[in-house]
Amino acid sequence: MAILEVLHFPDKRLHLIAKPILQINSEIKSLVADMAQTMYKENGIGLAATQVNVQKRIFIMDHSGNDEPENLLVFINPEILSRTGEVVSEEGCLSVPSVYEKVLRSEEIFCRFQDLDGKIHEARYNGLMSICFQHELDHLDGKVFVEYLSGLKQNFIKKKMKKIFKPI
């Protein structure tokens, strides 16, 4: 296993569109292990392959609390089949550290994805699962959550990121 480098906004590679996974082989399993290790180290609750510069349609989540056992969820070739309602909630992202902003999302989603064994699942999500699924799926389509904000706010965030990641 390895800790992977997480790309930071406004890195252009975050805008690349991820490609479908045709075969869930050892390469994908090893990617999931590396992504999980990276997400846990960075204290994230979700991580998409795009964020570690891998253009494959896969993201992971773990919403278990600090005192709970790990509960890694893997979503391969995820898609949203239908959406209902609207909800505004505050989001953060490992690619935009220390930035938390309110974003409008669908309240409930009906989605489809494959697990690490290739089995197809369909599920209806609301609450944190729904928000996180939409946020991570956006990454696979090359979109970072701050791109929903005004141009003024995005410029402010870009400046903030430059300060955080300025070359030493």
Using the 8-state DSSP alphabet, how is residue 56 labeled?
B
* Cα–Cα nearest to 129, from 94, 89, 101: 89
> In the complex, what is the shortest distance from the CB of residue 47 to Ni ion, in angstroms, rounded to a whole number?
7
How far apart, in whole angstroms, are the C-alpha atoms of residue 7 and residue 51? 5
95 Cβ contact list (under 8 Å, min separation 6)? 6, 7, 8, 9, 11, 14, 51, 139, 144
**Nearer Cβ to Ni ion (7/93):** 93
End-to-end CA distance of the chain: 28
Closest CB to Ni ion among 119 and 141?
141
Closest residue by beta carbon to Ni ion: 93
Q: Which residues bind Ni ion (CB under 5 A)?
A: 93
Min dist CB 138 to Ni ion, Å, is: 8
Q: In whole angstroms, how close is the CB of 119 to Ni ion at the nearest point?
A: 25
Q: Any catalytic annotation for residue 136?
A: yes
Q: CB of 26: closest distance to Ni ion in angstroms? A: 26
Identify the active-site residue in 101, 108, 136, 147.
136
60 touches 83 (CB < 8 A): no
Cβ proximity to Ni ion, 93 vs 103, nearer residue: 93
Longest dimension (CA), the chain: 47
Residue 28 or 93: the one with the smaller Cβ distance to Ni ion is 93
> Which residues are known catalytic residues?
136
